[in-house]
Amino acid sequence: MGILNDRVVIITGAGGGLGAAHARVLAAEGASVLVNDINQSAAQKVVDEIIAAGGKAAVNTSDITNYEDSARAVQQAVDTWGDLHCVLNNAGVNRDRMFASMTEAEWDTIMSVHLKGHFCITSHAVQYWRNQSKEGKSVNARIINTTSGAGLQGSIGQSNYAAAKAGIAALTLNQAAELG
């Protein structure tokens, strides 16, 4: 028995790195984990590892930077396990470049994945939880947003990444104040 038995979690960017580590740990603690990643084979590998260890997991390839497509992740979690209790926003990319050489595309890619991605999928989860609350159901949910020290201190060659991570920190503070 784990501390997350009967909890359903979506983890974005869970096909590798920190997201995959989050997925393995939360599943080991009993959570049913929707492994979201645009790389289906990477996500499937993490799901296979979780299932082999006795956990519950499924692959989701929704593009979290697309508002409509990100809704599929929330719907899949609810359809598969009957509820949703947590969105762990971990997806991220890097486009390292000194500010003077950075392209608009390098800036936009980081903002899209880090900030818009956190917004899109979480917006759908919050709407789901709000509807549950309006129906009189008790909601015990969490939003976990991954950020970085780069957002607080800056990071040479990563002005786009640092700005996005600072934005995630501010978003998290506002979400806590508004949704708590």
Catalytically annotated residues = 148, 161, 165
The answer to whether 74 and 128 are in contact (CB under 8 A) is yes
What sections of 35-111 are H helices per DSSP?
40-52, 67-81, 104-110
Who's near 56: CB < 8 A, 6+ residues apart?
Answer: 27, 31, 32, 33, 50, 81
Who's near 107: CB < 8 A, 6+ residues apart?
Answer: 95, 160
Annotate 67-83 with b (16+ C-beta within 10 A) or e (fewer).
Answer: eeebbbbbebbeebbeb
DSSP state of 54: T
Q: Is 95 exposed, middle or buried (0-12, 13-18, 19+ CB in 10 A)?
A: middle
**Opening angle at CA 168, ends 101 and 19, nearest 5:** 95
